[in-house]
Amino acid sequence: MGFLRSLRNFLADRSHEQPPEDSVRRFRDAWGLDPEAGELIEPTDAAPAAPAPSAPGPDARGASEYDRTQWRRKLHHIFEAGPATNPEWPALLREARALNLDDAWVADGMREEFTMLIRSHIADRRLTEDERANLDAVRRRIGWTEAEAAAIVESVVAEARRFFGGDVVVES
């Protein structure tokens, strides 16, 4: 009950409500505020100028590393959930444009996630018709041609055959 008693005493104590006039005056002087209206006044010798607003850095038009990482995480999440029908897909593409992400960088990320999707489908050494239909729907969602997607699928299947030391069944 000590905490609640302390909280009650703090809330009942009115000494903390009004700051001392000296601290209010120093605050107004530091920010160049008019004591009457609370608005900015022209700085004088007695009152220092208000700090200038910070200007954007030279790379303000490009996405930061944090933005890129977060965007890739969202892309990965969408691919895990199924990009063919995910309603977050258009918002992800809008965000890429808003962040001014490089088209080649975005395409590389999509290619990597598509490759991982294929690998997850052939982990059991089979690529079923349903999985192929899913890959085709994802391909259309991304906007790739059949040849572009087929090249990636063939590459991953060949890699899986080398890795497993045997055949990977691709159903037609």
pLDDT given for residue 41 in this prediction: 53
The reported pLDDT for the residue numbered 103 is 93
Residue percentage of the chain with pLDDT more than 70? 79
Residue 3 has pLDDT above 90, yes or no: no
pLDDT (0 to 100) of residue 142: 92
Q: Determine the average pLDDT of the residues in 90-106.
A: 94
Residue 157 tokens read as: 């299947």
Better-scored residue on pLDDT, 39 or 127: 127
Stretch 122-151: mean pLDDT: 92
Please indicate, yes or no, whether the overall pTM of this predicted structure exceeds 0.75.
Answer: no
Three-state SS for 130-160 is HHHHHHHHHHHHHCCCHHHHHHHHHHHHHHH
Q: What is the mean pLDDT of residues 142-164?
A: 91
Q: How far apart are alpha carbons 142 and 125 in whole angstroms?
A: 25
What would the mean pLDDT of 38-60 be, rounded to a whole number?
53
Residue 170 gets which letter from DSSP? E
Does the pLDDT value for residue 105 go beyond 70? yes
- Domain extents for the chain? 1-53, 65-170
Q: Distance between CA 122 and CA 131 in Å, rounded?
A: 9
In the predicted model, what is the mean pLDDT of residues 149-161?
91
pLDDT, averaged across the chain = 82
